[in-house]
Amino acid sequence: MLTIAGTQFSSRLFVGTGKFASSREMKEAVEASGSQMVTVALRRVDLNNPHDDIMQALDRTKIHFLPNTSGARNAEEAIRLAKLARVASGTNWLKLEVTPDPRTLLPDPVDTLKATEQLVKDGFIVLPYINADPILALRLQDAGAAAVMPLGSPIGTNQGIMTAMQVEIIIQQARVPVVVDAGIGAPSHAARAMEMGADAVLVNTAIAVAGDPVRMAGAFRAAVEAGREAYEAGLGKPSKQASASSPEEGMLTPDLDFIQD
């Protein structure tokens, strides 16, 4: 079972709430995904209004609510937004997004670290969205981040895990859960991230803009479960040699006659 900051989740699929045609469709898709962690952009939702479409659509007794700071361009804005969110929503969980470039929405590593340090001190449970930079991931872990959320490829690109090599290093090294976020365009991408050993994935666009978002949510659910199952079952990794039991071509086997006993 996935545990983040002491809270357990039986689903390893996190979903976003943006880009859906209606809040009813969003609600149905979230239910079909089986997700227990749903991220909501603070700028999209009126936290003070109990009749807000998004807020009403989510059953917060079953679903963990993860406000995000989407739109924040620097640490200062993100921190301000986070504090407003905490007061209004009653949760201290936060997906930290600091994206100064409105074109690519790539995260700013310097201000993300700065904001994480401050928000952790202020009692937030911080899940920072980052580029797939292993050292940054470790620095954030050391600063008290509850998980790290490296991107598979730039948000909204549907390109899949283009950062696989870096994500693998993060998974190998991190003590906190690793949630692959952004760029996951198809269930096969999600399955791959899970097979690599990611603790969870976050999917939004690929579900929200699918022909049938509810069915697509179910497809992602199945893919995440299959990928995790394969990882836990011990996946046979691809090998470069047909068989190591025969002498490798072009490689001399050292003379071991010096070994006496």
Partner 1 sequence: MFTVPDFAHLQQWIIRSTEDDVRRALDREHVDIHDLAALLSPRAEKYLPQMAARSSRITLQRFGHVTQLYAPLYLSNLCVNRCAYCGFSAGNRIPRRTLTLNEAEQEAMILHERGFQHILLVTGEAPKAAGVDYLEELALRLRDRFAALSIEVQPLEQAEYERLFRAGVTAVAVYQETYDRAIYQQVHLAGRKCDYDYRLDTPARAAAAGMREIGIGSLLGLADWRAEGLALALHLQWLRKQFWRTSFAISFPRLRPAAGEFQPLAPVSEKNLSQLIFALRLFDHNVGLLLSTREEERFRNGMIGLGPTRYSAGSCTAPGGYSQPDIEGEQFSVGDHRNLAEVSDALIAKGFDPVYKDWDKEFQVFNLESLSS
Work out whether 254 is an interface residue with partner 1 (CB under 8 A): yes
Among 1, 233, 239, 249, binds partner 1 (CB under 8 A): 239
Pick the piece of the chain touching partner 1 (CB under 8 A) from 45-53, 93-101, 179-187, 240-248.
240-248
- Residue 232 phi/psi, 5-degree rounding, is -70, -30
Residues 170-189 that bind partner 1 (CB under 8 A): 173, 175
To the nearest whole angstrom, how small is the minimum distance from the Cβ of residue 155 to partner 1?
Answer: 27
- Kindly state the DSSP code that residue 151 receives in the 8-state scheme: B
Using rule CB under 8 A, residue 102 touches partner 1: no
Cβ distance 8 to 2 under 8 Å? Answer: yes
Q: What is the x/- site pattern for partner 1, positions 123-142, by CB under 8 A?
A: ---------------x----
> 211 or 251: whose CB is closer to partner 1?
251
- Residue placing its CB nearer to partner 1 in the complex, 59 or 142: 142
Q: Does 250 bind partner 1 (CB under 8 A)?
A: no
Select 10 or 246, whichever has its Cβ closest to partner 1. Answer: 246
Note whether 65 and 40 are within 8 A (CB).
yes
| Residue nearer to partner 1 on the CB measure, 32 or 148 | 148
Is-catalytic flag, 95? Answer: yes
User: Cα-flanking dihedrals φ and ψ of residue 116, to 5°?
Assistant: -60, -50
Parallel/antiparallel/unpaired status of strands 7-9 and 13-16? unpaired
Query: Can you state the angle between helices 213-233 and 187-195, rounded to 10 degrees?
Result: 20
Tokens of 217: 């949510």
Is the CB of residue 103 less than 8 Å from the CB of residue 73? no
For partner 1, give the closer residue by CB, 103 or 261. Answer: 261
Question: Does 115 interact with partner 1 (rule: CB under 8 A)?
Answer: no
Tell whether residue 248 is a contact of partner 1 (CB under 8 A).
yes
| Residue 241 touching partner 1 (CB under 8 A) | yes
Q: CA 252 to CA 257: how far, in whole Å?
A: 14
Nearest to residue 129, comparing CAs of 166, 98, 175, 86? 98
What is the Cα–Cα distance from 187 to 191, expressed in whole angstroms? 6
Catalytic option among 95, 114, 121, 237 = 95
- Decide if residue 249 touches partner 1 (CB under 8 A): no
CA-CA distance, 20 to 16, in Å (whole number)? 10
Q: Which residues are near partner 1 by CB under 8 A?
A: 138, 173, 175, 234, 236-237, 239-241, 243-245, 247-248, 251-254, 256, 258-261
Which residues belong to the active site?
A: 95
